[in-house]
Amino acid sequence: MDKILDKINGTEDLKKLNIQEKKELAEDIRELIIKTVSNNGGHLASNLGVVELTIAIHSVFDAPKDKIIWDVGHQSYVHKILTGRKDKMPTLRKLGGIAGFPKQSESEYDSFDTGHSSTSISVALGMAVARDINKENNHIIAVIGDGALTGGMALEALNHAGAMKTNLIVILNDNEMSISKNVGGISMFLSKVRTRKFYTESNRYVKKVVSMLPRGGNFIIRFIRKIKYSIKQLLIPNMLFEDIGFRYLGPIDGHDIEKLESILKVSKELDGPILIHVVTKKGKGYKPAEENPDKFHSASKFDIETGESLVEKPKDYSAVFGEKLVKIAKENKKVVAITAAMKDGTGLDEFAKEFPDRCFDVGIAEQHALGFAAGLAKNNMIPVVPIYSSFYQRCYDQVIHDICLQNLGVVMCVDRAGLVGNDGETHQGIFDLSFFSLVPNITIMAPKDFEEFENMLEYAVNLEKPVVIRYPRGGEGKNKFQTHEKIRKGKAELLQEGNDLTIVSIGKMVDRAVTISSILGENGINAEVINARFLKPIDENMIMNSIKKTRKVVTIEDNIIKGGLRKCY
Ligand SMILES: Cc1ncc(C[n+]2csc(CCOP(=O)(O)OP(=O)(O)O)c2C)c(N)n1
C-alpha cells in the first residue's frame, strides 16, 4: 500500500491532507524515524513525542514565512521530514549529511540554529520585536520542552516577554521528562496544572469555545480574551504564566492533531505573548522508548524488534568518574555532587542511589549549578560538578566571579572534552582548555588514562582550591600505560626520553603522542614524550629543559589552537 508520506514533499502537501490522512502520516513518520535512528543513532524518544505536534504546527502556520525555533533542536527530525528532507534522513548525523539539530545552512525552514538548551524564547522574542519594528507580519513560535524550561535563560526570557505586548507564541512541550525525570519547582507546578480537576473543566470550556470558532469569528476571540482570563483567575489563582503576562492555553493532548490545530488557530488570532501547554508522551508509538524514554533520549544503533543496543559500550571516563567518586564520598562525608540534568550521562547514577542526600539535580541550569557549588564550598562542603565541556561554556562568569576570585574549593569535572562526534559543532568540547586557562586561581588537569584520572580526582577533592579535570567521551586509548607517578602540583610526567624532538601532550592525546613517537622511532627519530598532566600550573622546568635539549617541540591537544597547551609557553 502507498504511504501517505510518499506524497509529502513539503508543507504545502501536508496542508492538503484531512485529519485521518494526517494520522496515517504520523505513523509513517514514526516508522521512518525509528528506522533512521536504529541505523544512525540519534534522539529517538523526543522526536517520537512531537510527531503530531509538528504536523499540527506545519498545518496551521506558514513556514518559512512564520518562524519556528526549536529549543535544543534535538526534536527537529519530524520538522526536517516535513520540510523537504525526508529523502536525506538516511544521512542524518553523518559527515556531509543532514544535521541532528536545526541548521539554517541546510534549509530556509530552519530559522535558527540550536543545540544548547533554553535559548528559544529569547531568540523568538528578539525576532518578534524586530518584526514589529520592521512592520513585518508573521508569526514567531518557540517550541520548548519542560526540561529546557528549567534553564535560567528560558525563565529570563519568559520574564521579559511577559511584560511586553509583542505577539509571540511559546509552545511548551510537557512530557514530564528532561533526559531523565524532570525536576524542580516549575516541574512540580506543571504537574499540578496537568492533574487539577478545575483545569480539566477549564480545558473543557476552552474546547467548547474553540469548537464554536468557525461560526463565532472575532466575537469568539474577544470572548476568549476577556472571559477566559477572568474565569481562569477565579479557578486557578496562582496561574504562574498568566500572572507574569502570558495568555495561557491548555493543557492539551499533544497527540490529538485536531485539537492541536484548533488551539494553534486560536493562538494565531490572539495578541500578546501566548503560552500553549501541550502534554505529550516521550517515545510515543515505540514501546521500548515509551518504557525507557531516558535510555532512548539519545540512542546509538539498535535492534528495532528488541530495542537492544547494537553498539558495545566499553567502560568510559564517565563510569570511572562515578565509581571513583562513590569510593571517595564513602570516606569523605563532605563530598557532594551536582548535576545539571545529566545524572546518567555524567556517571552519577550510582552516586545518586548511594547518597541521595548528597546528590543534587538542579535541572538544565549549569550557571546555577556552579553558583550553588560556590555556596556549598563556602560552607565547608566539597562540591564536585561534572558537566559536559560544551555546556561549561555557560558558566564562565560563575567560574570566575563566584568560584575562582574567591578561591573556593569546587571540583569542576569537564566531561566530553575534545571532539565528541555526530552531534555537530554545538556539542564539541574544544574551547575549555582555552577559556579555563585564562581564569585566576585555577588548577587545570587532564588525565592520560583511567588510573591517572582516579588519582587526579582524589588529588582534586583534597585540594580545597578551584580545580578543573577535563576528560574525553568514551574510553582509554590503545596504549597501556604502566607508570602512574603520584600527582604533584604542576608536575608533568616524562614518558619517554629522546634527543631529536620534544612532544608535549595532555589528556586523551597523550596516547596519540606515544603512538606517533613509536612511528617516529621506527624512522630513526627519537622523540622525548612529556605528559603535561597540568595545564595550569604548567611544568615549565621539565618542558623547557627538554626543548633546550632537542631544539624542536610539537604540542598535541584536543582543543582549539588559540589558548590551551600550545599557548602556555
Ligand atoms: C545547556 C545544555 N545543557 C544540557 C543539554 C543536554 N540536553 C539535551 S536535551 C536535554 C533534555 C531536554 O528536555 P526537554 O526540553 O524536556 O525535551 P525532551 O527531550 O523531553 O523533549 C538535555 C539536558 C543541552 N542540550 N544544553
pLDDT tier, 230 (very low <50, low <70, confident <90, very high otherwise): low
Counting from 1 in the atom list of ligand 1, the atom nearest the Cα of 178 is 13
Q: Does residue 209 carry a pLDDT above 90?
A: no
Q: What is the mean pLDDT of residues 490-501?
A: 97
Residue nearest to atom 18 of ligand 1 (CA): 46
As a whole number, the mean pLDDT across the chain is: 93
Q: Does residue 365 carry a pLDDT above 70?
A: yes
Q: Does residue 216 carry a pLDDT above 70?
A: no
Is the CB of 37 within 6 Å of ligand 1? no
Strand bridging mode 493-496 / 527-531: antiparallel
Q: What is the mean pLDDT of residues 153-157?
A: 98
Q: Does residue 271 carry a pLDDT above 90?
A: yes
pLDDT tier, 198 (very low <50, low <70, confident <90, very high otherwise): very low
Per-residue pLDDT of 9-40, as tens digits, reads 999 999 999 999 999 999 999 999 999 999 99
Query: For cell 556531509, what's the residue?
Result: 96
Minimal CA–CA distance to 64: which of 112, 121, 129?
112
Minimal CA–CA distance to 362: which of 347, 343, 390?
343
Q: What is the mean pLDDT of residues 251-280?
A: 97
- 412 alpha carbon to ligand 1 midpoint, in Å? 20
Amino acid 194: pLDDT: 83
Q: Does residue 483 carry a pLDDT above 80?
A: yes
One-character DSSP codes across 199-244: HHHHHHHHHHHHHTHHHHHHHHHHHIIIIIHHHHHHH-TT-HHHHT
Counting from 1 in the atom list of ligand 1, the atom nearest the Cα of 391 is 1
* 362, three cell numbers: 538542579
Q: What is the mean pLDDT of residues 391-405?
A: 98
Residue nearest to atom 19 of ligand 1 (CA): 46
Q: Does residue 234 carry a pLDDT above 70?
A: no
Q: Does residue 211 carry a pLDDT above 90?
A: no
Per-residue pLDDT of 524-554, as tens digits, reads 999 999 999 999 999 999 999 999 999 999 9
pLDDT tier, 472 (very low <50, low <70, confident <90, very high otherwise): very high
Amino acid 470: pLDDT: 98
Counting from 1 in the atom list of ligand 1, the atom nearest the Cα of 280 is 21
Q: Using CA atoms, how far apart are residues 126 and 109, in angstroms rounded to an integer?
A: 18
Amino acid 566: pLDDT: 78
| 406 Cβ contact partners less than 8 Å away, ≥ 6 residues apart | 374, 378
Q: What is the mean pLDDT of residues 489-516?
A: 97
Query: For cell 483567575, what's the residue?
Result: 233
Which pTM does this prediction carry?
A: 0.93
From 364, 389, 398, 473, mutation site for ligand 1 pocket: most ligand atoms within 8 A of C-beta: 364
Using alpha carbons, list the distances in angstroms from residue 194 to 74, 118, 202, 306.
24, 22, 12, 32
Is the CB of 361 within 6 Å of ligand 1? no
Q: Does residue 201 carry a pLDDT above 50?
A: no
- The backbone region for 411, taken as left when phi is positive above 0, alpha when psi lies in -120 to 50, beta otherwise, is beta
Per-residue pLDDT of 444-458, as tens digits, reads 999 999 999 999 999
Is the CB of 171 within 6 Å of ligand 1? no
- 295 alpha carbon to ligand 1 midpoint, in Å? 14
Q: How much of the chain, in percent, has pLDDT values that exceed 70?
A: 92
Counting from 1 in the atom list of ligand 1, the atom nearest the Cα of 50 is 21
Is the CB of 172 within 6 Å of ligand 1? no
* 174, three cell numbers: 510537557
Is the CB of 364 within 6 Å of ligand 1? yes
Whether the CB-CB separation of 320 and 454 falls below 8 Å is answered with: yes
N- to C-terminal Cα separation, the chain: 67
One-character DSSP codes across 450-477: HHHHHHHHHHHHTT-S-EEEE--SS---
- 307 alpha carbon to ligand 1 midpoint, in Å? 22
Amino acid 563: pLDDT: 87
Whether the CB-CB separation of 186 and 153 falls below 8 Å is answered with: no
Strand bridging mode 168-174 / 273-279: parallel
Q: Does residue 97 carry a pLDDT above 50?
A: yes
- Verify cis geometry, omega within 30 degrees of 0, for the bond prior to 386: no
Strand bridging mode 527-531 / 140-145: unpaired
Residue type, 501: L
Q: Does residue 200 carry a pLDDT above 60?
A: no
Q: Does residue 565 carry a pLDDT above 90?
A: no
- Cα-Cα-Cα-Cα torsion 157, 162, 168, 174, nearest 10 degrees, comes to 70
Within 13 Å of residue 139, how many CA atoms lie on the same side as its CB? 24
- 15 alpha carbon to ligand 1 midpoint, in Å? 30
Q: What is the mean pLDDT of residues 228-247?
A: 72
Q: What residue ranges define each of the domains in the chain, with the CATH number in brackets?
A: 4-284 (3.40.50.970), 317-470 (3.40.50.970), 493-567 (3.40.50.920)
Q: What is the mean pLDDT of residues 39-59?
A: 98
Amino acid 568: pLDDT: 57
Q: Using CA atoms, how far apart are residues 101 and 326, in angstroms rounded to an integer?
A: 35
Q: Does residue 156 carry a pLDDT above 60?
A: yes
- 8 alpha carbon to ligand 1 midpoint, in Å? 29
Is the CB of 368 within 6 Å of ligand 1? no
Is the CB of 177 within 6 Å of ligand 1? yes
Whether the CB-CB separation of 451 and 412 falls below 8 Å is answered with: no
Is the CB of 74 within 6 Å of ligand 1? yes
Whether the CB-CB separation of 55 and 62 falls below 8 Å is answered with: no
Helices within 41-97 (DSSP H only) = 44-49, 51-60, 77-80
Which residues are identified as catalytic? 282, 366, 394
